[in-house]
Amino acid sequence: MNKPKVLISRRWPASVEAKLQQLYDVTLNHDDQPLSADQFRLALQNYDAVCPSVCDSLPADVLNVANKRCQILGNFGVGFNHIDIKAAQANKLIVTNTPGVLTESTADIAMTLLLMSARRGAEGDRLVRAGQWQGWCPTHMMSSDVTGTTLGLIGFGRIAQAMARKAHHGFGMKILYFKPTPADPAVVADLQAEACSSIEDVLSRSDFVSLHCPGGQATRHLINAERLSLMKTSAHLINTARGDVVDSQALIHALRNQQITGAGLDVYEGEPNIDPGFLDLENVSLLPHLGSATIKTRTAMGDKVLANLEAFFSGKPLPDRVV
């Protein structure tokens, strides 16, 4: 029996690629260069399964290609706002994702950015590397405290709760959160967390605001100029969610004019094309989308995709079906 044909859009951990080669007639992306829209259209016509990553764009004009062979998009990542879900449904394409396995690693990066922004870590690193440090001084590079301050979370899912545990139990931070639906009472009690009635309430009361909401049209520019103006001038904004949740121009203006003290970003609008306005700011820490980038986590993500493909091709219920 012929093996199903599977396309992998980017390089995956070697152990996962080895499993793919055993199980499927798989095409790997050895050059690890992003595929074009036309390459994705051809893939949809020539493969049984296409496995994109969160950096790939699959809009309706790609998914609507004629003569499709593909039946399933095995997404490498939790977020799926890069896939036009309505178009996928209209084209009878199953979409799966990889939830649950990247919670702690992404929460670690959120805390890393919080600490970098608060204590001016990236700025200090640049100073030392440039040979400009002239020694310890009582007033040099004074920064913001973390311990005992208030962390506000926009969204209160797995990653936000993991960050809250690190912040509350590790740094004694007070936890505020906004979530449209009720949170697990046991989690709230463990964190001594306070639910806020609005995003605006979180923004105005927090020393650090961390974003943990999905991407997509409903949350595009959720953090805009008006909402940034509600934050304390001493506050920091952390984004490990999706780049388009924040209006880049509004954030650059707020940072440049000291409306807020700092920001830490792991995701960007239109990444990897970062707004150049961020690059000349000292009060923003910038990481290259490292949220899930540990060996253990990325391997587990690949194994999640494999589990979804195995279930699909054997006619079993899919463990991580989006649509």
pLDDT digits (tens, 9 = 90+) for 139-197: 999 999 999 999 999 999 999 999 999 999 999 999 999 999 999 999 999 999 999 99
What is the domain extent for residue 182?
103-286
Mark whether 116 and 27 lie in a shared domain.
no
**Average pLDDT value for residue range 116-133:** 98
- The pLDDT, as a whole number, for residue 304 is 98
Rounded CA gap, 241 and 159, in Å? Answer: 9
Asked whether residue 183 is assigned to any structural domain, the reply reads: yes
- Nearest Cα neighbor of 100 from 310, 305, 315 is 305
Mark whether 233 and 138 lie in a shared domain.
yes
Mark whether 132 and 228 lie in a shared domain.
yes
- The pLDDT, as a whole number, for residue 85 is 97
Q: Is 282 a catalytic residue?
A: no
The total domain count for the chain is 2
Asked whether residue 322 is assigned to any structural domain, the reply reads: no
**Average pLDDT value for residue range 58-66:** 98
Mark whether 109 and 81 lie in a shared domain.
no
Asked whether residue 131 is assigned to any structural domain, the reply reads: yes
Tell me the pLDDT band of 38, cut-offs 50, 70 and 90. Answer: very high
Which of 194, 200, 271, 310 is labelled catalytic? Answer: 271
pLDDT at 80 over 90: yes
Mark whether 37 and 119 lie in a shared domain.
no
Q: Phi/psi of residue 178, each to 5°?
A: -120, 125
Q: What is the per-residue pLDDT across 255-314, written as a single tens digit (0 to 9) for each?
A: 999 999 999 999 999 999 999 999 999 999 999 999 999 999 999 999 999 999 999 999
Asked whether residue 255 is assigned to any structural domain, the reply reads: yes
Which of 11, 165, 220, 289 is labelled catalytic? Answer: 289
Asked whether residue 12 is assigned to any structural domain, the reply reads: yes
Query: Contact 51/76 with Cβ under 8 angstroms?
Result: yes
Q: Which long-range contacts (CB under 8 A, 24 or more apart) does 18-23 make?
A: 19/303, 19/306, 20/306, 23/306, 23/309, 23/310
Which of 205, 242, 269, 298 is labelled catalytic? Answer: 242
Mark whether 77 and 210 lie in a shared domain.
no
Q: Is 269 a catalytic residue?
A: no
Mark whether 145 and 249 lie in a shared domain.
yes
Q: Is 271 a catalytic residue?
A: yes
- The pLDDT, as a whole number, for residue 57 is 96
- The pLDDT, as a whole number, for residue 109 is 98
Mark whether 124 and 238 lie in a shared domain.
yes
Asked whether residue 186 is assigned to any structural domain, the reply reads: yes
Rounded CA gap, 238 and 242, in Å? Answer: 11
DSSP 315: T
Tokens matching residue 291: 């949220």
Rounded CA gap, 88 and 84, in Å? Answer: 6
Q: What is the per-residue pLDDT across 207-260, written as a single tens digit (0 to 9) for each?
A: 999 999 999 999 999 999 999 999 999 999 999 999 999 999 999 999 999 999
Mark whether 172 and 252 lie in a shared domain.
yes
pTM equals: 0.96
Asked whether residue 318 is assigned to any structural domain, the reply reads: no
Mark whether 52 and 120 lie in a shared domain.
no
Mark whether 152 and 218 lie in a shared domain.
yes
Mark whether 170 and 48 lie in a shared domain.
no
- The pLDDT, as a whole number, for residue 310 is 98
CATH of the domain at 81: 3.40.50.720
Asked whether residue 167 is assigned to any structural domain, the reply reads: yes
- The pLDDT, as a whole number, for residue 1 is 73
